[in-house]
Amino acid sequence: MKKSDIKRTNKTLKRQLKIFRPIKIKVQKKFSILTAIFFSMLTIAGIVGIIYFLIISDDLSTKVKGECIGLIGLMLFIIPLFFQNTDSIEFLSEIILSPQKLTLVYQLKKTKREEVIPINTIESFTANLTANTVKQDKFAYLDSRTNITITQKSGDIIKFSVNQSKGFSFCTYDFLLKLISISQFLPNFQYSVKSNSEFVKKDIENFERFGKRLSFLQRTKLEMKKTPIFQKLILVVCFLLFFSSFSYFIYLVIPPFCTEEEKEFVSYIDEGYRAYQYDNYEMAIEKYEKALTIYQDDSSLYYYMAIAYEDKKEYENAIKTAKKGLEFLDQKSKFNKVHNFKVDSNNDIKLYTTLGDCNRKIGNFKEAKQNYTYVVDNVKYQYSNAKFYRGICEYYLGEKNEALKDFMDYKTILEKFFNDEEEREFKLKTYSQKDLNNVYQWIRATTEL
């Protein structure tokens, strides 16, 4: 016998064996005492939290205090709802179906009684589901009920309802789905669905068609088959955009793994920069040199060391350090890694600007012009001083036309800055009238050459 035939035979046997097993269906889901106590404790904890908030907050308005007290009253009202099924009302808790009989189990607290109905005495079994979406303010819930009617051949009728458990049931038409799954064992089984929820209708329709409740992905797959190709493409593009944006956000937020050496290295740079901010250049350089004993290939370190040398007026050392930093621009900065700077830190712009400033201060205008030209060609921020300082270098090199053009461009940048309030609000650099007067003087000096 083939393996496929064996599997098919096993499935048939299992299906037949189900007939001889009693099938239990719970009718009404009860909160256990432990569950009710758990939810009650959570509610009490919330009440205690609100009371504590009222006590420590002296500056609350009367209106807010009244709302808090009203919330406490509402929460106290909710607690008895957790114990609603522990009262003295008898209810139908489950039905048990076997090949010969249908047993209805009624429950009163922990006491149960059974009502046995032979299958051969049942004329028909009818289930009617009513499931409507009810909106209350900003919230909505599914209000559903399944009415069961068992008609016996003798003319006797047994009716009962399966109701929503006061909003705590996540799928209140489960009972009907279970009946559909065993409908081949129920004589003359019929059911009807009245609902304003398309989700409920499709869920039951798919259950009857496939014999199981479909997952979200399976339902989506069915819906996508009915969707035109153009709409599918739009959905795919939107999904990719969302997924890429979310992935990039996660990439920016989640810190990378850093070794202890990397953390120690960056701690020396941070300590050095704090010393630099207080004009203690000696200590700053000392800290940077300690960082160099750990790693020698980080462009960020050389930039911070170069500006310390520049402010200390050791321009030759600053130039030498900045050029060293340019050698490692293709290396990932450990400083940026530890501080989780995922966006480009523009170390090349910083290093070339430092080189240009130092070369200009020692009178090396030709090289300074080359440094500033790199900054002008690559800087993304429109408010840059690079054109102004390049103009000064061109002025001393005797390049009148080039200098005048750079000064005029810089004047336009400043005028735009002062005339546009929005630009000033989101500025990354502060300018004053003194800067504008300064560029006017250089324009006059250049025209007099």
β-bridge mates for residue 41, sequence order: none
Burial grade of 144 (CB within 10 A; 0-12, 13-18, 19 or more): buried
Q: Copy the structure tokens of residue 385.
A: 């001083």
From the candidate CATH numbers 1.25.40.10, 3.90.1150.10, 3.40.640.10, 1.10.260.40, the one assigned to the domain spanning 260-447:
1.25.40.10
pLDDT of residue 170: 46
91-97 sheet: strands from edge to edge? 23-26, 91-97, 101-108, 111-118
Each domain of the chain, given as residue ranges in start order, spans 23-224, 260-447
Give pTM, 2 decimals: 0.50
Secondary structure in 3-state letters for 319-362:
HHHHHHHHCCCCCCCHHHHHCCCCCCCCHHHHHHHHHHHHHHHC
pLDDT of residue 12: 47
CB of 275 within 8 A of CB of 287? yes
In degrees and rounded to multiples of 5, residue 185 shows phi and psi of: -95, -10
pLDDT of residue 2: 46
Q: One digit per residue, pLDDT tens: the chain, 449 residues?
A: 444 554 444 444 444 434 344 666 666 545 555 666 677 777 777 777 777 666 666 556 666 667 777 777 777 776 666 665 544 567 777 788 877 888 888 877 778 888 888 888 999 999 888 888 877 776 777 778 888 899 999 888 988 887 754 444 445 577 788 888 778 778 898 988 888 888 888 888 888 888 777 777 777 777 777 778 887 788 788 888 888 887 877 777 777 788 889 899 999 999 999 999 999 999 999 999 999 999 999 999 999 999 999 999 999 999 999 999 999 988 888 888 888 776 666 788 899 999 999 999 999 999 999 999 999 988 877 667 888 999 999 999 999 899 999 999 988 888 887 776 655 555 555 677 788 888 889 888 888 76
Of 394, 372, 406, nearest to 449 by C-alpha is 394
Residue type, 93: S
